[in-house]
């Protein structure tokens, strides 16, 4: 009997199967097989918050296959992802398959390589129930909040809304930033730059750094008048060297921030591509076939294994030289609340360089792997050495300053470059040679008006950074949080920016008034710490849920009793699109098929427009329509071919002035058995086809069965094809001739037409 290995995804199953050989069968559970029911709370709050799990609808076939394979297997290994969610999936699988929880069946690996997978199979462990309880506590908390708060929102905002424990906080973050932007009042200020020339003819630009406040054009003009009285003299030159240290390898948060900034990827796209790199890519025989290219991508740890570090140092030594190695191997420390369950995100095999496998990867896979590879290698390299120069100049009592630097030693920057401007000689803002006391020639003095700018809208990268810095959510939840608040229309994308909607603002205000703890940053972060404490055996599932539910239940009862039956008005979201019929500015609305633009003067004006995913009107392309060879019998206009819910038909080109329509028919090349004219196929009620004489109603012949050119061998009358039974029969019931027939492909097409 073969051993059975159960993983989450089919692609991972294919990779692992290649490592383990014929004694192992690897199949995928395709995620969770059990969960709380959707139709009820599914949590018995009066019985220690006992959850009621059921098999997920639609997973019956998967569960049946898993049971069959587990029963026939010698051993069963549960190899789901190495995190809370993966541990919970293994726990559910063990329950469904009847595997005792004290049996060593759980295997985990931080990277999908042959060595890591084989080593994990050799050292199975029991399911970590503390890790499972931590996941259960999160699931139950989220279910209680969502299930209990949703009716409150239905009552006061509109039906169909739902609340989320962490999603509500994320919405609040974006709402408050938008409020801050709207309340921002810009202030005027001026800068004054002097373009100067040294005695050797080289130029530099120095900026005014004196004590005068330049808050208006008058202030700037006064400074310029003062500068005209004197000249610019070098007062001081400061030169220094500093070391610029490399950034640590990626965590989930920093990967999403950097891939968003450098590659322009959204978080969902980043995690999808990272998952593909983790689960395995076929690199061909040169690189050993299917390989997992990176370590597990949901992590907040900065730790790396000693084996991976030694491999990186060996590569740096051989590729760049000894001087590019740090004086001692680098150790990065994560934040105090990091779970540190597995390593930072790094290449599984650092010797596989991105350029070597570019042809085997998609464009997205290559770009993300290159980013991860370069960041990891750079993190193990020596610091860059920067030579900085600051020139301080005086014009009377007015101080100016020019700064620049050159790179003395590239260090890690030779792999993971800087975004600063670099000249042809590899210098960054290099300043010309000069000396203290030198007088410079004034080329020009340039005053520039500025206004302070409001804080920027959050985008996915900056929101994830805020969530991480404030301990809200965990690596595995960042992407689902953003996806959910957009899907629920609390937040929308405006280019790369995340902007709150009127619905999000109204909902956030209600939540802050009635459930301040739920949308409180510190409270949400403390709940994350409590969930971690369950995993670390410092707390229990029951105590965490009990502590939360008491205050939550009181707040819910108070909110439901105090709020009125009148729903909160959601202000319409105005667009910058003008209604071409009445001139009003159109507003966004939600319908059965998503958002669309509508005239605010409805029902007086019923104009609507479809929009694309960025909220812009969709421009309808003119479609060339087939013109019939007959005219409209009502107005004499052209009849053009159109498509409706029941198939093709001809309609008058003067619609809606003339609403004449005529069904499109298809000749089948068979004579009418009554008058000898042509038989045509037509649409009946619904989508069924029937056949009638083209001279109808003068000739009243019609039939659901298709006439043929074949005559009955018994009575000599015309035979008909009954497509529903694949039968050819005589319509003369007294004759009763019948035979089975295989319907030809041609007849299928004709009948469907």
Q: Outline which parts of the chain fall under CATH 1.10.460.10.
A: 137-183+456-562
CATH homologous superfamily for 188-245+384-451? Topoisomerase I, domain 3 (2.70.20.10)
Longest dimension (CA), the chain: 124
Q: Is 403 exposed, middle or buried (0-12, 13-18, 19+ CB in 10 A)?
A: middle
CATH number (3.40.50.1580, 1.10.460.10, 3.40.190.10, 3.40.50.1860) of 137-183+456-562 reads 1.10.460.10
Residue 134: HSE in the Cβ half-sphere, 13 Å Cα cutoff: 25
Q: What confidence score (pLDDT) does residue 66 get?
A: 93
What are the structure tokens assigned to 358, written together? 């570019």
Q: Does 59 score more than 50 pLDDT?
A: yes
Q: Outline which parts of the chain fall under CATH 3.40.50.140.
A: 3-127
393 beta partners: 234, 400
Q: Is 1 exposed, middle or buried (0-12, 13-18, 19+ CB in 10 A)?
A: exposed
Burial letters for 338-377: b for 16+ Cβ neighbours within 10 Å, e otherwise?
A: bbebbbbbbbbbbebbbeebeebbeebbbbbbbbbbbbbb
Q: Does 751 score more than 50 pLDDT?
A: no
User: pLDDT tens digits for 509-566?
Assistant: 989 988 998 999 999 999 989 998 999 899 999 999 999 998 898 888 888 887 554 4
CATH for 252-379 is 1.10.290.10
Written as one string, the DSSP assignment of 665-694 is -EEEEEE-TTT--EEEEEE-STT-EEEEET
The average pLDDT across 688-692 equals 76
Q: Would you give the DSSP letter of residue 94?
A: H
Fold (CATH) for 3-127: Rossmann fold (3.40.50)
Q: Is 224 within 8 Å of 192 (Cβ atoms)?
A: yes
The average pLDDT across 350-355 equals 95
User: pLDDT tens digits for 525-539?
Assistant: 999 899 989 998 999
Q: Would you give the DSSP letter of residue 418?
A: -
Q: Does 752 score more than 50 pLDDT?
A: no
User: pLDDT tens digits for 276-303?
Assistant: 999 999 998 888 888 899 999 999 899 9
Q: Would you give the DSSP letter of residue 343?
A: P
Q: How confident is the model at residue 423 (pLDDT cuts 50, 70, 90)?
A: very low
Higher pLDDT, 674 or 393: 393
Q: What confidence score (pLDDT) does residue 339 get?
A: 60
The average pLDDT across 320-328 equals 94
Which residues are designated catalytic? Answer: 296
Query: What are the backbone dihedrals phi and psi of residue 522, each rounded to the nearest 5 degrees, phi first?
Result: -65, -40
Q: Is 453 within 8 Å of 186 (Cβ atoms)?
A: yes
Instruction: State CA 158 to chain mean position distance.
Output: 27
Written as one string, the DSSP assignment of 188-201 is EEEEEEEEEE-TTS
445 beta partners: 194
Q: Would you give the DSSP letter of residue 442?
A: E
Q: Does 42 score more than 70 pLDDT?
A: yes
Q: Does 327 score more than 70 pLDDT?
A: yes
What is the number of residues in the chain? Answer: 753
Q: Outline which parts of the chain fall under CATH 1.10.290.10.
A: 252-379
What are the structure tokens assigned to 514, written together? 């009635």
User: pLDDT tens digits for 182-236?
Assistant: 999 999 999 999 999 998 899 999 999 999 999 999 999 999 999 998 899 999 9
Average model confidence (pLDDT) for the chain? 87
Helices (H), 157-241: 165-183, 217-227
Instruction: State CA 748 to chain mean position distance.
Output: 43
Residue 282 DSSP SS3: strand
Higher pLDDT, 574 or 369: 369
What span, in angstroms and rounded, lies between the C-alpha atoms of 194 and 446? 6
Using CA atoms, how far residue 366 sits from 263, 379, 416, 519, 534, in Å, is 11, 20, 16, 39, 39
What span, in angstroms and rounded, lies between the C-alpha atoms of 99 and 51? 20
Using alpha carbons only, give the angle 636, 638, 643 rounded to the nearest 5 degrees: 130
Burial letters for 129-150: b for 16+ Cβ neighbours within 10 Å, e otherwise?
A: ebbbbbbbbbbbbbbbbbbbbb
User: pLDDT tens digits for 113-143?
Assistant: 888 999 999 999 999 999 999 999 999 999 9
E-only strand ranges, 538-676: 573-578, 585-591, 594-598, 608-610, 627-631, 638-644, 647-652, 661-663, 666-671
What span, in angstroms and rounded, lies between the C-alpha atoms of 552 and 737? 77
Q: How confident is the model at residue 684 (pLDDT cuts 50, 70, 90)?
A: low
Q: Outline which parts of the chain fall under CATH 2.70.20.10.
A: 188-245+384-451
E-only strand ranges, 542-637: 573-578, 585-591, 594-598, 608-610, 627-631
Q: What confidence score (pLDDT) does residue 455 get?
A: 95
Query: What are the backbone dihedrals phi and psi of residue 103, each rounded to the nearest 5 degrees, phi first?
Result: -90, 135
Burial letters for 472-482: b for 16+ Cβ neighbours within 10 Å, e otherwise?
A: bbbbbbbbbbb
Question: For a pLDDT cut of 70, what percent of the chain falls above it?
Answer: 92
What span, in angstroms and rounded, lies between the C-alpha atoms of 710 and 632? 37
Query: What are the backbone dihedrals phi and psi of residue 600, each rounded to the nearest 5 degrees, phi first?
Result: -70, -10
What span, in angstroms and rounded, lies between the C-alpha atoms of 520 and 170? 10
What are the structure tokens assigned to 724, written together? 């529903």
What span, in angstroms and rounded, lies between the C-alpha atoms of 569 and 14? 53
Residue 72: HSE in the Cβ half-sphere, 13 Å Cα cutoff: 11
């Amino acid at each position: 009997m073969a051993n059975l290995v159960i993983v989450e995804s089919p692609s991972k199953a294919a990779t692992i199967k290649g490592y383990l050989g014929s004694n192992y069968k690897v199949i995928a559970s395709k995620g969770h097989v059990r969960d709380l029911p959707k139709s009820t709370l599914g949590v018995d709050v009066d019985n220690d918050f006992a959850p009621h799990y059921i098999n997920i609808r639609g997973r019956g076939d998967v569960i049946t296959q898993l049971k069959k394979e587990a029963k026939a297997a010698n051993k069963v290994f549960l190899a789901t992802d190495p995190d809370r969610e993966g541990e919970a999936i293994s726990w559910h699988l063990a329950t469904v398959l009847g595997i005792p929880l004290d049996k060593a069946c759980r295997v985990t690996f931080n990277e999908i390589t042959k060595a890591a997978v084989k080593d994990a199979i050799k050292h199975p462990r029991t399911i970590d129930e503390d890790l499972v309880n931590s996941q259960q506590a999160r699931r139950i908390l989220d279910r209680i909040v969502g299930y209990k708060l949703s009716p409150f929102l239905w009552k006061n905002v509109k039906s169909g809304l739902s609340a989320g424990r962490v999603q509500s906080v994320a919405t609040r973050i974006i709402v408050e930033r938008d409020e801050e932007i709207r309340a921002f009042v810009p202030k005027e200020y001026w800068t004054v730059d002097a373009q100067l020339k040294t005695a050797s003819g080289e130029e530099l630009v120095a900026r005014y750094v004196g004590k005068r406040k330049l808050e208006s054009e008058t202030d700037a003009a006064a400074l310029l008048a003062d500068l005209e009285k004197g000249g610019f003299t070098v007062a001081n030159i400061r030169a220094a060297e500093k070391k610029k240290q490399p950034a640590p390898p990626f965590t989930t948060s920093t990967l999403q921030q950097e891939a968003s900034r450098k590659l322009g990827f959204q978080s969902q796209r980043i995690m999808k591509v990272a998952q593909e790199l983790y689960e395995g890519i076929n690199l061909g025989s040169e690189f050993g076939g299917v390989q997992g290219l990176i370590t597990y991508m949901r992590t907040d740890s900065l730790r790396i294994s000693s084996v991976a570090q030694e491999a990186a140092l060996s590569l740096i030594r051989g590729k760049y030289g000894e001087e590019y190695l740090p004086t001692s191997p680098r150790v990065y420390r994560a934040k105090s609340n990091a779970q540190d369950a597995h390593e930072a995100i790094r290449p599984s095999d650092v010797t596989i360089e991105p350029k070597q496998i570019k042809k085997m990867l998609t464009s997205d896979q290559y770009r993300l792997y290159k980013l991860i590879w370069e960041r990891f290698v750079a993190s193990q390299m020596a610091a860059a050495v920067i030579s900085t120069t600051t020139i301080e100049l005086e014009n009377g009592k007015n101080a100016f300053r020019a700064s620049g630097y050159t790179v003395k030693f590239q260090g890690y920057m030779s792999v993971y470059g800087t975004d600063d401007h670099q000249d042809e000689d590899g210098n960054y803002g290099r300043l010309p040679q000069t000396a203290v006391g030198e007088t410079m020639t004034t080329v020009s003095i340039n005053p520039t008006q500025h206004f302070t700018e409001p804080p920027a809208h959050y985008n996915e990268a900056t929101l994830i950074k805020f969530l991480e810095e404030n301990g809200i959510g965990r690596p595995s939840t960042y992407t689902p949080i953003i996806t959910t608040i957009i899907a629920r229309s609390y937040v929308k994308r405006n280019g790369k920016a995340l902007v709150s909607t009127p619905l999000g603002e109204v909902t956030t205000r209600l939540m802050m008034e009635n459930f301040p703890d739920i949308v409180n940053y510190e409270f949400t972060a403390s709940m994350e710490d409590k969930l971690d404490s369950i995993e670390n055996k410092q707390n229990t599932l029951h105590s965490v849920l009990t502590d939360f539910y008491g205050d939550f239940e009181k707040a819910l009862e108070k909110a439901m009793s105090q709020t009125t039956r009148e729903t909160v008005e959601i202000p319409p979201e105005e667009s910058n699109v003008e209604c071409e019929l009445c001139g009003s500015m159109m507003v966004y609305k939600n319908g059965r098929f998503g958002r669309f633009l509508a005239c605010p003067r409805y029902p007086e004006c019923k104009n609507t427009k479809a929009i694309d995913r960025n909220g812009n009107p969709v421009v309808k392309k003119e479609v060339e329509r087939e013109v019939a060879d007959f005219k409209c019998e009502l107005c004499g206009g052209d009849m053009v071919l159109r498509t409706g819910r029941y198939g093709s038909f001809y309609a008058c080109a003067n619609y809606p002035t003339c609403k004449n329509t005529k069904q499109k028919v298809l000749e089948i090349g068979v004579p009418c058995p009554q008058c000898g004219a042509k038989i045509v196929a037509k649409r009946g009620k619904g989508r069924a086809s029937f056949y009638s004489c083209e001279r109808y109603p003068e000739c009243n012949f019609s039939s659901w069965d298709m006439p043929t050119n074949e005559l009955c061998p018994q009575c000599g009358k015309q035979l008909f094809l009954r497509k529903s039974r694949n039968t050819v029969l005589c319509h003369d019931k007294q004759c009763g001739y019948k035979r089975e027939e295989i319907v030809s492909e041609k007849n299928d097409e004709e009948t469907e037409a």
